[in-house]
C-alpha cells in the first residue's frame, strides 16, 4: 500500500453577511487556469510542505489563496482526516476569521470567494448535487449574495456583471460531494 501524502484544508468560519449575526464558512471557486481541479468549488488548502504540520499548512494556504493572515490562536480544532482516491490524507483545520479580516483572493488560484451562512447549509434544499455540463453553466441562478472577486491590484470585490456571477450554491461534478477536498498534485 502506498503512503498517503499529507494535506490540509482550512474550514474558515466568520460572521455571516445577514443581519441575524450567524456564522458562515468561506468557500472558494478555483481559478479556471489551474492545472488540477480548475473551476471547482473548494476549501482553501493544499499539500503539507516538508516538516510542516497540518495546522501550519492550512494557515499558509489560507494566506496564499485568500490573503488571510491568521495565527494558531485562530485555530478552533481539527476534524477527522479524509483519505482521497488521488493519494492524499487531508486534515480539515477549523479556524475563526474575524469579520474585520481583509480577504484578498489570489487571482491565480481563486476565481471568487463566497460566505455561505451555516443556517443556509442546514436547509434540506440547500444544495443541488445533480451533474451538469459547463455549456449549461450560464443558466445557473445568479447569487443573491455578493461574492468576493479578486482585483488586478490585489484587492477584492471587483464589480462583476450579473451575467458573470457564480451560482449561490455549489453544483458538483459526478463523483464529488459538493465541495472539492482533493488537492492538486
- pLDDT tens digits for range 15-35: 987 666 789 999 999 999 888
Amino acid 85: pLDDT: 87
How far apart CA 26 and CA 140 sit, in angstroms, is 20
pLDDT at residue 71 greater than cutoff 90: yes
Q: What digits encode the pLDDT tens for the residues 74-97?
A: 999 999 999 988 899 999 999 999
pLDDT (tens digit per residue) in 112-144: 998 888 888 777 766 654 544 444 444 444 444
The vertex-139 CA angle with 180 and 41, nearest 5°, equals 10
d(CA 36, CA 30): 10
- How far apart (Å, rounded) are the C-alpha atoms in residues 11 and 9? 6
Give the pLDDT confidence score for residue 170 in this predicted structure: 40
Predicted confidence (pLDDT) at residue 43 exceeds the cutoff of 50: yes
How far apart (Å, rounded) are the C-alpha atoms in residues 77 and 86? 25
Q: What percent of the chain has pLDDT over 90?
A: 46
Determine the Cα–Cα distance for residues 14 and 95; give it in Å rounded to an integer: 9
- Is the backbone of residue 67 left (phi > 0), alpha (psi -120 to 50) or beta? left
Look up residue 64 and give its three cell numbers.
496564499
Is the pLDDT score of 150 beyond 60? no
158 to 30, 60, 93: CA distances (angstroms): 17, 24, 29
Q: What is the pLDDT of residue 96?
A: 97
Amino acid at each position: 500500500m502506498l503512503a498517503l501524502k499529507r494535506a490540509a484544508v482550512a474550514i474558515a468560519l466568520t460572521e455571516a453577511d445577514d443581519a441575524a449575526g450567524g456564522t458562515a464558512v468561506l468557500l472558494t471557486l478555483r481559478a479556471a487556469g489551474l492545472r488540477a481541479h480548475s473551476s471547482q468549488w473548494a476549501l482553501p488548502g493544499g499539500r503539507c510542505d516538508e516538516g510542516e504540520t497540518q495546522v501550519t499548512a492550512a494557515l499558509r494556504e489560507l494566506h496564499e489563496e485568500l490573503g488571510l493572515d491568521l495565527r494558531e490562536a485562530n485555530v478552533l480544532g481539527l476534524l477527522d482526516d479524509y483519505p482521497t482516491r488521488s493519494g492524499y490524507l487531508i486534515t480539515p483545520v477549523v479556524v475563526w476569521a474575524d469579520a474585520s479580516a481583509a480577504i484578498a483572493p489570489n487571482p491565480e488560484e481563486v476565481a471568487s470567494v463566497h460566505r455561505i451562512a451555516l443556517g443556509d447549509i442546514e436547509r434540506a434544499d440547500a444544495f443541488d448535487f445533480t451533474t451538469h455540463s459547463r455549456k449549461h453553466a450560464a443558466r445557473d441562478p445568479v447569487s443573491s449574495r455578493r461574492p468576493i472577486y479578486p482585483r488586478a491590484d490585489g484587492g477584492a470585490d471587483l464589480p462583476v456583471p450579473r451575467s458573470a456571477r457564480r451560482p449561490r450554491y455549489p453544483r458538483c461534478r459526478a463523483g464529488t460531494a459538493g465541495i472539492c477536498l482533493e488537492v492538486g498534485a
